[in-house]
Structure 1
Amino acid sequence: MARPHRVLTAMTLLVLVAGGCVQGDQALEPHNERKGPVGPIPTGLDRYYGQELAWGPCSDYATTSADRTAFQDPALECARLEVPMDYAHPEGKTIRIGVLRKPATDQQSRIGSLMVNPGGPGASGMSAAASLTTSVSDNELGERFDLVGFDPRGIGASEPAVRCLNDSERDTERLDSDADTSPAGVAQSEREEREYAGKCAARTGVDMLANVGTRDVVRDLDVLRSALGEPKLNYLGYSYGTRIGSEYAESFPGNVRAMVLDGAIDPGQTTVDALVAQGAGFQRAFDDFAAWCAARSRCTLGHDPEQAVQQFQRLTRPLVDNPVQAGYGRELSYPDATMAAIQALYAPTLWESLDTGLAELEQGRGQTLLSLADSYFGRDASGRYSNTTDAFDAIHCVDDKRVTDPEEVRKADRRYREAAPFLDDGNQPSSARDMCAFWPVPVTGEPTQPQVGELPPVLVISTTADPATPYQAGVQLAQALHGRLLTYEGTQHTVYLQGVSCVDDAGTNYLVDLQVPPEGTRCTG
């Protein structure tokens, strides 16, 4: 069965160098701070909710080359939060959560902390917050909120980190097309998936894998709220971060002040239905790309959008058996070519690169497409990978119901190919189960409509042609949380704080003044 694509925000995919300043851009002095406990404290967790945080420079928290640049900003400060590995045994092993903060520039008018998560699952909230500092530096968000990004357990600067493959193994894995759907091909694919699950268990630890899901992340988030001295949570969740937000709202409704949930996950959708809906979303984005490309003087896929899928398949399918050279001793595989397209379809700003990459592929070269795929997988120029993909797999395998019946897998693969024909490699649907079927720990979450108590109004933002989280998912989430839906008419994944003034103004007014936009509000770029 095709794996679900990670749902990363465009903001995460195109990380900006953090900017902004505090008090003339002076470096913040290291200091210890104890502001908790604040609010209700679950039994046995007093020491966590009231812990002291040691704030200091962020450079030592960087785990990627982009972070090493962004985290040098003297206006940022970082700390680690201690939480139980297993909340059922808070007296046992502990882990540490990486936290980054950009203090409000107007401390006298400060409202509180705004916690940010960019989704994935597996993306770094610290990186996301650092990249957003330029977007909030000259508005009320930056003036009145501390911008706080946290790396969920197992991710980025949090310790320990989920690890499954080393850099060389990940490079090799990306060259394997797994396109053979014969019985022998299925057996080989499942053997590789079983081995992958085994490496995750050996390198991360079974106890960590058992407690890495969203169930536990929302409890970490409440500990962080208290340790920061916040009686109520202000939260900005993008993409898969909307699932963290909705589960927090269900678990701690009385602790919520405001939530902006942009690019929603439908909380009640089954694993297969979510996968198929996402495939349809990427197909629609591909169709929009094809129409945009066809209107230009030069378009590799031609000037008839109706033929774009066939042309894309003509260019990419030969890669299944014959990868092309991509420079520096590397090759472009079929999986990387399709992932490059997925990467570019997250935001129209990358469509030019996709057309360029396809033009190179037509000439037997793969540099641009491989670069797009590298960005998707978190590989930097030195060949080092972030652990985003490893963490995505670990969280996905405990958050979602597993599909273990081979015939169900085959049906799901068939549905996905029908929903996203540009990603169909031309082979018969496969019955090969993914790594989750062999995962060494049980599922700890399940798709379900949240049952919320007395919850303040929540703002859900949904984009009409969002490729990764379809528009209807936002409609469903807003209804489930009894919140307000803000519609953005466009083709991209997530939109708040990305330069669309109608959306940015509505979201900021809500966070500052708790005023939701009028019912039925729609924005355009």
Structure 2
Amino acid sequence: MQCSGGEPAGPVADPGRPCRIRPVCASSPAALWNGSSRSPPGRTPPGDVVREADRARQVAERCAASLSAPLLPHIGTADVARDMDRIRAALGEERVSYLGASCGTQLGTAYASLFPGRGDRIVLDSNLGPGGYDHRAMRLSARGLEDRFPDFAAYVAARPEYGLGTTPRQVRATCQELARRLEREPVQGRDETAFRGITYDRLYADADMPELAEIRQALDTGGPVPEQPPFPGLEALRSARFAVICGDSPWPRTIREYQRDVRADSGRYPLLGGATADIGPCAFRPRSWVEKPVRVDDQGPSNLLLVQNERDPGTPLAGAKALRRAFGDRAGLVTVDRGGHGVYPFGADSCADDAVTTYLTTGQRPARDLACAAEPDA
């Protein structure tokens, strides 16, 4: 007997026993990195794309054979935007206001594009580009780390007690040399892949810089590395994100394309070394399960405000600028001379916070794109 809402609780399911709820596409985190919440892996030489393709194909095949497979063509961002509009209608509202951050900018972009006349005040914070989380956006994460790393290098250089260098250039050189050492000989189970992933993850917020410096120091000297508690529900989160992003837009289909991109990004963005250009399960998604991407253009009311840190590792400034261009006069852009992921209200920057709050409460948007200087006490 099959129990409702999941897989059988045992060899023969008992209706009185609970089901084990499994992710849409159960898989190891390594194989699902293209749909991960954050930390991408380390360097991936072009020749390894073939090996990674085998793992990615297995994940895609398990998804296609899972009990949840019939849902996969119907849970993309455009589907959620249409659901939002049904909720608006059910509530009897003529228009809806929206505040979305990070992946939420993709949903806000889709809603504003599919239902341009039904949006009121829309704020998008830490923006993906007009293509959402497609292959191009994933590759931009490597550029985001290059944008962000100088903040960390300056932080460490001002604190010689870490022993990682007294100038930003020395800190970068020390970290690159450490990555090469870990590639040859991992320390306490941390190899180059884990090291680069930890670096990317901890640069989402300034508050994580001390911990990152301590981890780097420990790996460099052989000291104890702080253990991180497991993130609850990470497997399900990765699985759900993989299911959505693979269905939102078509991904490259051939190994040769990924090898080319890995080779190019390895040179452009050495801190991640081409990893975010590598192949993943999206390459093997059935074409019939991929919805036509939502068209983003300047047709509609001028009711969007984009806010963005200039040195955001997760959603780099380049994506926000591309989205601003795609929306044209429909959108205004507020940038902040800071690093990290998330502006409103997490950054405590009064220039950006005031602009967003004023727009949400009064409908008055800045008359032109606004560049906010960094605030020392923020």
Tell me, yes or no, whether TM beats 0.5: yes
Partners of 2:83 and 2:257 in 1: how far apart? Answer: 35
* 1:508 maps onto 2:357 in alignment: yes
- Residues 1:459 and 2:305 are matched in the alignment: yes
TM-score by length of 1: 0.59
Aligned partners of 1:406 and 1:432 also within 8 Å: no
Q: Is the 8 A contact 1:460 1:484 kept in 2?
A: yes
- The residue that corresponds to 2:231 in the other structure is 379
Helix, strand or coil at the partner of 2:282: helix
Structure-1 separation of matches of 2:44 and 2:364? 54
Task: Give the CA deviation at 1:186.
Answer: 4.4
Q: Deviations over 1:250-275 (max 9, x none)?
A: 11111111100111122158945434
Partner of 2:152: 289
* Count of residue pairs the alignment pairs up: 346
Q: CA deviation at 1:452?
A: 5.1
Deviation at 1:305, TM superposition (A): 1.9
**Given the superposition, is the C-alpha separation of residues 161 and 500 from structure 1 closer, same or farther in structure 2, using an over 3 Å criterion?**
farther
Matching residue of 1:485: 333
Q: Does the Cα contact within 8 Å between 2:309 and 2:335 map onto a contact in 1? A: yes
Residue of structure 1 equivalent to 2:10: none
Q: Is the 1:265–1:473 Cα contact (8 Å) retained in structure 2?
A: yes
Match of 2:250 among 378, 381, 401: 401
- What SS class does the counterpart of residue 333 from structure 2 fall into? strand
Matches within 5 A, 1:31-430: 162-165=23-26, 169-170=28-29, 181=45, 185-203=48-66, 205-268=68-131, 271-320=134-183, 322-325=185-188, 331-364=189-222, 367-368=225-226, 371=228, 379-380=231-232, 385=234, 387-424=236-273
Give the superposition deviation at 1:341. 0.8
Amino acid at match of 2:344: Y
Amino acid at match of 2:340: Q
Q: Is the 8 A contact 1:300 1:358 kept in 2?
A: no
Task: Return the offset for 1:219.
Answer: 0.9
User: Are positions 1:496 and 2:357 aligned together?
Assistant: no
**Segments of 4+ in structure 1 off by > 6 A?**
171-174, 176-180, 429-432
Greater helix share, structure number: 2
CA distance in 2, matches of 1:172, 1:322: 23
2:296–2:326 contact (8 Å) kept in structure 1: yes
Is 1:433 paired with 2:282? no
How far, CA to CA, are the matches of 2:238 and 2:267 in structure 1?
A: 26
**Separation (CA, whole Å) in 2 of partners of 1:220 and 1:479:** 27
More strand by share: 1
1:194–1:438: 8 Å Cα contact kept in structure 2?
yes
C-alpha displacement of 1:357: 0.8
Query: Contact 2:154–2:168 at 8 Å: present in 1 too?
Result: yes
Give the AA of the match of 1:344. Answer: R
Unaligned runs of 5+ in 1: 1-94, 96-159, 326-330
Letter of the structure 1 residue corresponding to residue 169 of structure 2: E
Identity %: 29
CA distance 1:222–1:415, shift in 2 (3 Å)? same
Aligned mates of 1:193, 1:207 — CA distance in 2: 20
Cα distance in 1 between the residues matched to 2:103 and 2:317:
14
Cα distance in 2 for partners of 1:390, 1:221 equals 22
C-alpha distance in 1, partners of 2:215/2:367?
A: 43
CA-to-partner distance for each residue in 1:195-232, whole Å, 9 max, x for gaps? 11222333452211222211211112112223344321
| CA–CA distance in structure 2, aligned partners of residues 275 and 246 of structure 1 | 18
* Partner SS, residue 464 of structure 1: strand
Match of 1:118 in 2: none
State the Cα distance separating 1:432 from its structure 2 match. 6.5
Q: Is the 8 A contact 2:145 2:200 kept in 1?
A: yes
CA contact under 8 A between 2:123 and 2:304: conserved in structure 1? yes
Distance across 2 between alignment mates of 1:480 and 1:173? 30
Q: 1:262 to 1:354 in 2, by over 3 A?
A: same
Moved more, 441-450 or 272-281: 441-450
| TM-aligned CA distance change 1:462 to 1:302, over 3 Å | same
User: Residue 455 and residue 182 in structure 1: after superposition, are their counterparts in 2 closer, same or farther (change >3 A)?
Assistant: closer
**Which structure exhibits the higher relative contact order, with contacts defined as CA atoms closer than 8 Å and separated by 6 or more residues?**
2
Which residue matches 1:450?
296
Q: TM-score, normalised by structure 2?
A: 0.80
Matching residue's letter, 1:362 = D
* Residue 475, structure 1, aligned to residue 321, structure 2: yes
How large is the Cα RMSD of the aligned pairs? 3.2
> Deviation of residue 366 (structure 1)?
6.4
Secondary structure (helix, strand or coil) at the match of 1:422 reads coil
Instruction: Say if 1:258 and 1:456, in contact at 8 Å, map to a contact too.
Output: no
Matches within 5 A, 1:23-34: none
CA distance in 1 between counterparts of 2:297 and 2:344 reads 26
Q: Note the C-alpha offset of 1:483.
A: 1.4
CA–CA distance in 2 between the matches of 1:203 and 1:408?
28
Which residue number corresponds to residue 84 of structure 1?
none
SS at match of 1:194: helix
Corresponding residue number in structure 2 for 1:117: none
In the alignment, the residues of structure 2 paired with residue 366 and residue 246 of structure 1 have an alpha-carbon distance, to the nearest angstrom, of 45
Q: Which amino acid aligns with 1:424?
A: G
Q: Shift of residue 391 of structure 1? A: 1.7
- CA deviation string 1:175-206 (max 9, x = no partner): x97967586x5443222111112223334522
